[in-house]
Structure 1
Amino acid sequence: MDFKTVIEGLTTNKVDSKLIEQLEKEEELQKILFNLNNEEKEDLIRKITLFAKSDSKKDTKDKNDVYIPVLNKLDFVHCDFTGVGSEWDGPHYGLVWEVNPRFDAVTIIPATSKKRKNYANIIPVGKILGLPKGDTSLLVSDMTKVSRRRLEPVTFNHYTKGVIRTRLQNKWIPSIVEAVALTYGNETTLEEFITQRTIVSMPEDLEDLRSKRFKPVKARYDRENNIMEYRIWNQDNWHSLNMKNPNTQINKSVKIKLVKELLSEDLSVREEAERKYFELYH
């Protein structure tokens, strides 16, 4: 079976004849394809096609050497990734985080509408006009640089303004900055410090733990006086938490499990954890 027949037999749509002609010359690629099963071959051809479409796009700039279309921070874009292994692959939505109008590379935060567990570097931003139905989350941990050739601005038809860009509100910037600090700046969350650095002690009041769980902090623990002090990583004001030791001897693993359950998304788990907390610490 010739190479053209193999490729066309793998795809539901006719492959571009020029692409086939070019691929037929690549002996190394032919060897790779013939050692793959049909599903793997289909996936590889898809990636080659997607990469070729992105790479063949022509750059467009204005008289000031600024790329067109202009991309702005907090614009949502459609990205064509061609990843290997656990890298991002295929079409996905993303958020423009850093962009220079004269540079090709754009820093993108991938977005997803799939339900994700709460983590310090996953930011739920709710429903976004112009994106798929459901709540959107930003995956700061997967932030990456992408060529403009892989990107297309996302637009939607606004009921009064007409066709406009899909954008994230500025109010989310501090949360993203904090997630970046935690992911790439090795900062520590309030939850991590309380869990790992205060032995078996717990805050007398849980409000700060609940409301500032994922805040990056600079903190210290005075074991003798059982007081924890902290400040938000980029602020100067210090806050104090009165800590309490348990009424009975426990090991640290019990406390770690308790903190996790106190912050659970499951209401019944949280309620049972609160009962245990008051039983142990009050």
Structure 2
Amino acid sequence: MNELLPNFSRYTSSCTEEEKAEIMSVIDTLFNDNDLLKIIKELATVTDDSEEPLQTRTDSLDRIFRFIKAINNPNRVNVVNSERNFLPIIKKFQLVLFDLPGVGGELNKAHYGIVWDLKLTRDELLVIMTNSYKDYKHIETSTRFNIGPVGNQSLSTFVILDQIQTISRKKIIATVFDGQELILNEAQQKRIDRSISLLSTKEIPLSEFLMNKKRKLIPIFDDFEVQIEHLNMPFKIISQSKFHLSYMLFFEDDSTKIFNINFELSTFANASEHRNAIRRLLRALPTYSAADSPVLIESLKDARLRIYNEILSKKVLSESEISTK
């Protein structure tokens, strides 16, 4: 301790007496708490991580600081009939803002999440993470999709179903926005439920069926603009043959409808080339000019149609089609 005194005087020469007393108190605590000293020694070894995902030392220390702040948030409870209910009171299907001090590629900083399950008597919440939907950035899949605005929000909500996790109420930043709680409507709840069924059962989305069960065959949709939206959805087969599929979809309002797809032979070299073509259709995005002055160059609808026409160009032509060319 005596060895620290010369350095202490130099480092604190510009500090007030109150600040010096506070620093001495921390040092005194440090040298009398072996657990804390062990943590400080570990903190001193934190360095930049140059591998993906990039994370600087400053960023890592900020995450640690926010994690400690969350730990220091006291448990808030309300005793009702001898039962301890944790606060804040949250509703199922409510959109809540959390502070997530993630590690590596985990979600970090402030993020919205949908409270999917909870118990009043427990601190933890089962949360489906979300982002604000950006059409130029977010590719919809069977587990990541746009459910539209929640409550009075102006921006659409992009559900990240494969980022479902348990989160403590201590990490909550806000539960009310512009004076309102944001609760998913029934249609939004059912949209998520449908996708959860894909994770919990052996159901596959329509796109997987086209890639794996109709290899090298080109799908000819009855209504391309409508049926392109079905590719990431679970479906029920009504009837099928090699060159035809009749399938049923279940919608959020509990209605059902039957759709048809015919199939034609292709000139794809192999199944892999065929799968890649379908994946390109799934991953289509609109094209904008520079981000500082975004101007739409190609809409999502046009991008999908362009890629689908490229797929159709691989169709094996009949003799009558060849003669008309």
TM range (shorter): 0.7 to 0.9
The amino acid across from 2:306 in the alignment is E
State the partner residue of 1:272.
Answer: 306
Alignment-mate amino acid for residue 211 of structure 1: E
1:253 alignment partner AA: S
What is the number of residues matched between the two proteins?
265
In structure 1, distance between residues paired with 2:56 and 2:30: 17
Structure 2 residue runs of 5 or longer lacking an equivalent are 13-18, 49-54, 287-298, 318-325
1:110 corresponds to:
129
- Cα shift at 1:105: 1.6
The root-mean-square deviation of aligned C-alpha atoms, in Å, is 3.8
* 1:30 is the counterpart of 2:49: no
* SS in structure 1 of the partner of residue 114 of structure 2: strand
Q: Structure 1: which 4+ aligned runs deviate by more than 6 Å?
A: 16-21
Residues 147-174 of structure 1 show CA distances to partners (whole Å, capped at 9, x for unaligned) of 12222442133xxxxx221223222011
Q: Identify which of 111, 114, 120 aligns with 1:95.
A: 114
Is the Cα–Cα contact under 8 Å of residues 222 and 260 in structure 2 kept in the other structure? no
CA contact (8 A) 2:87 2:169 kept: no
Identity %: 18
Deviations 1:193-245 (A, max 9, x none): 1112112223332537413111123559855x53335455999x895745322
Is there any run of 5+ residues in structure 1 with no aligned partner, and where?
Answer: 9-13, 158-162
Structure of larger gyration radius? 2
Is residue 62 from structure 1 mapped to residue 72 from structure 2 by the alignment?
no
Letter in 2 for 1:36: V
Give the Cα separation in 1 of the matches to 2:28 and 2:155. Answer: 43
**Is contact 2:243-2:263 (8 Å) kept?**
yes
Cross-structure match for 1:136 = 157
Mapped contact 1:202–1:281 kept (Cα < 8 A):
no
Tell me the CA shift for residue 146 of structure 1: 0.9
Matched, 1:81 2:100: yes
TM-score, structure 2 normalization: 0.66
**Residue 147 (structure 2) pairs with residue 125 (structure 1):** yes
SS state of the match for residue 156, structure 1? coil
- Paired letter, 2:144: I
Deviation at 1:92, TM superposition (A): 1.7
Q: Is the 8 A contact 1:60 1:68 kept in 2?
A: yes
Residue type of the partner of 1:272?
A: R
> Following superposition of structure 1 onto structure 2, how do residues 111-260 of structure 1 map, counting pairs within 5 Å?
111-113=130-132, 115=134, 116-128=138-150, 134-157=155-178, 163-207=179-223, 209-217=227-235, 219=237, 225-231=242-248, 241-246=260-265, 248=267, 250-260=269-279
Contact 2:234 2:249 in 1 (8 A): yes
CA contact (8 A) 1:201 1:243 kept: no
Deviation at 1:178, TM superposition (A): 1.9
* Structure 1 residue 60, shift from structure 2 partner: 1.1
Cα deviation code 1:25-72 (max 9, x no counterpart): 423223323223488554444333322332231231231423333211
Could you tell me which residue of structure 2 aligns to residue 160 of structure 1? none
In 2, Cα distance between the equivalents of 1:106 and 1:19?
A: 35
- Residues 186 and 141 of structure 1, relative CA distance in 2, 3 Å threshold: farther
Q: Shift of the alpha carbon at 1:177? A: 1.0
CA–CA distance in structure 2, aligned partners of residues 23 and 222 of structure 1: 72
Partner secondary structure for residue 235 of structure 2: strand
Q: Secondary structure at the match of 1:191?
A: helix
Are the equivalent residues in 1 in contact too, given 2:47–2:57 (CA < 8 A)? Answer: yes
